[in-house]
Amino acid sequence: MRRKAGSGARSGAANQLRIIGGEWRGRRLRFPDASGLRPTADRVRETLFNWLQGRVYRRRCLDLFAGSGALGFEAASRGAAEVVMVEAAPRVAEALRDNAELLGAEAVRVEARRAEAFLQSSAQPFDVVFLDPPFGKGLLEPALRGLAEGGWLNPDARLYIECEAELGEPELPAGYALIRRGRAGQVAYFLAARQSSANDGE
């Protein structure tokens, strides 16, 4: 998801995403009008899930700023054991639930609350975490710290990060390193892991 600061809402038939791989490949899902809300681009998702080959199937995934659900539904389509989608906007969270029901996505659970509140709850470690917070809000680094310090990450977890390219490389928690990098226009995206596991089955 991307909520880019200063962007207007998208409308009508444009408010949809296409799942690009797995069980629901080619399926299209609608999402509500919301200021700047749009799915991660198809080619970026394709690159990301190529990076993650073998690390999604039967794994636990967290989509912390879910928005349209593009990343979480993509993971569920590719056989994730569980996908938790966290979304603060009630109407957007309800659309995520509707789309999960439409797909019969039993592995998907939607948490309608702010990411900060979710990270203060009892930790259940994840294998893959998707972080694509609203642009211009300063939410990325606090989320990274909360994940690392709160016990939300399995030892070999992978962190996907999407942010404004102008920000440069994200500041990772101690002990983590970037293992993949990409850029699409004004958007930069990264894959990170603990340094001890960064070369383990990349």
Question: For residue 36, what pLDDT is reported?
Answer: 58
The pLDDT of residue 29 is above 80: yes
Residue-wise pLDDT for 54-108, tens only, equals 899 999 999 999 999 999 999 999 999 999 999 999 999 999 999 999 999 999 9
Task: Please state which CATH number belongs to domain 2-197.
Answer: 3.40.50.150
**For residue 200, pLDDT beyond 80:** no
Question: Can you tell me the distance from the alpha carbon of 11 to that of 34, in angstroms, rounded to the nearest whole number?
Answer: 9
Consecutive H or E run containing 94: helix 90-103
Choose among 97, 100, 56: nearest CA to 79: 56
The confidence band for 136, taking pLDDT boundaries of 50, 70 and 90, is confident
